[in-house]
Amino acid sequence: MQVARHVVCALSGGVDSAVAALLLRRRGYQVTGVFMKNWDSLDEHGVCTADRDCEDAYRVCQILDIPFHQVSYVKEYWNDVFSDFLSEYEKGRTPNPDIVCNKHIKFSCFFHYAVDNLAVKLLQAADSFKDQTFFLSQVSQDALRRTLFPLGGLTKDFVKKIAAENRLHHVLQKKESMGICFVGKRNFENFILQYLQPRPGKFISIEDNRVLGTHKGWFLYTLGQRARIGGLREPWYVVEKDGTKGDVFVAPRTDHPALYRDLLRTSRVHWIAEEPPAALVRDKMMECHFRFRHQMALVPCVLTLNQDGTVWVTAVKAVRALAPGQFAVFYKGDECLGSGKILRLGPSAYLLQKGKSKPRVSTEGPSDGPGSGPGLGPTL
């Protein structure tokens, strides 16, 4: 008995999704192309840039002779992704909307649309070159079992070669989509201040408490980034933030010890396998690797499991620019285990060198009381 193989392919209007649909069709799947509209630019410029992408996606379906559908999740994207994005910045955290978007839009709204309306069977696969596991680390097991990644193992050059050989020239030269998920590249400060009220504050030296300049809002800065302070020749970098007073603490040099930490605590971890690894449950500790930015080198670490499902992450070596709000994504070998949002940080190497027991800044997160974490206690 042969099972009918129907798949839905999300078409963005770019070359990757176009070739993905082509490869699925070549492999015998009955493919339906769907374009998702998740952001309405009319509110900002009076022109909806998604229209061109939709037209390109439609042309792909015409060329490949597959059905075309269009869905809109503008309201859902605003409520579940963008509002959370603004809220995280307002709290002074550094969010990652691509992970949240995959969780709530692509693998929830779109997934249920496909199953309910198109009776699509989605299968799981892997991409070993242009790895997307970081961004998929919050997606449910149920959705991943029904997901297929047809570009797995292919280089970008080979993807473009396939597109050129199959008359998909109109998407061949398009630039990679960058910036905020579905919103795109913007002047970050101007964009955020359209939605959040400015909260002026001071740039303060972490070394001697000198006021070096002013800013429009502490939530506009993430740990590790360069703070562009007028009148200063040398670069200074954000090392801590005080949300109560609105101050941003900065340090000279990109390798200043105030930028390095080796301890963090996450929110309740989303495990891809739905349950924590057996070794972690058995021993309450487990060696693995993690990253908190896409494509950064994996960092060896030790996880300590807490009763509420959160974990302490102790890095073997101090890591630069850990940022609350980002996701710590865990790996064991080639397998992505899952991820948890970074809520609390341990003291920086600078504070440890100075012998200070009370760090300067508060970060939001679950509290266990003094000395409850592995090794040194967290930043409280």
> What are the pLDDT tens digits along the chain (380 aa)?
223 357 888 999 999 999 999 999 998 788 999 999 888 765 555 555 678 889 999 999 999 999 999 999 999 999 999 999 999 999 999 999 999 999 999 999 998 888 766 543 322 223 444 677 888 888 887 777 667 677 766 777 888 899 999 999 888 888 776 666 666 677 888 888 999 999 999 999 999 999 999 999 999 999 999 998 988 888 999 999 998 999 999 999 999 999 999 999 999 999 888 889 999 999 999 999 999 998 889 999 999 999 999 999 999 999 999 999 999 999 988 788 899 999 999 999 999 988 754 444 433 333 333 334 444 433 33
pLDDT at position 49: 60
H-only helix segments in the chain: 15-26, 50-64, 74-77, 83-90, 97-101, 110-118, 141-144, 156-165, 169-172, 188-192, 278-283, 349-354
Strand order from edge to edge, sheet including 68-72: 6-10, 30-37, 68-72
String of b and e for 176-198 (b: at least 16 CB within 10 Å)? Answer: eeeebbbbeeeeeeebbeeebee
Q: Which of 294, 296, 13 is nearest to 176 (CA)?
A: 13
Look at residue 184 in the predicted model and tell me its pLDDT: 67
Three-class DSSP category at 72: strand
Cα 32 to Cα 118: distance, rounded to the nearest angstrom: 8
Phi then psi for 250, rounded to 5 degrees? -130, 160
Q: How many Cα atoms are found within 13 Å in the side-chain-facing hemisphere of 240?
A: 29
Please tell me which residue in 61, 181, 288, 336 is annotated as part of the active site: 181
CB 269 within 8 A of CB 311: yes
**SS3 of residue 226 by DSSP:** strand
| Annotated catalytic residue, options 61, 101, 109, 288 | 101
State whether residue 340 is helix, strand or coil: strand
The Cα–Cα gap between 57 and 51 comes to: 10
CA–CA separation, 342 vs 265, rounded Å? 6
CA gap 193, 187 in Å, rounded: 10
What number of helices (H) and strands (E) belong to the chain?
12, 15
pLDDT at position 120, please?
Answer: 37
* Confidence at residue 153, expressed as pLDDT on a 0 to 100 scale: 65
Alpha-carbon distance of 310 to 300, in angstroms, equals: 18
19 contacts 168 by C-beta, under 8 angstroms: yes
Query: Would you state the structure tokens that stand for residue 242, as one six-digit string?
Result: 């005080």
Instruction: Compute the C-alpha angle 47/48/52, nearest 5°.
Output: 115
Angle, vertex CA 85, rays to CA 47 and CA 37, nearest 5 = 35
Report the largest interatomic distance among the alpha carbons of the chain, rounded to a whole angstrom. Answer: 76
- Residue 181 a catalytic site member: yes
Distance CA 88, CA 278 (A): 33
How many C-beta neighbours within 10 Å does residue 304 have?
A: 18
Tell me the angle at which helices 50-64 and 15-26 cross, rounded to the nearest 10 degrees: 20
Is residue 123 left, alpha or beta, with left meaning phi > 0 and alpha meaning psi from -120 to 50?
beta
61 is catalytic: no
Reported pTM: 0.71
Q: Any idea which residue has 């059905």 for tokens?
A: 67
At residue 128, the pLDDT reads 41
Q: Please say whether the beta carbons of 243 and 92 come within 8 A.
A: yes
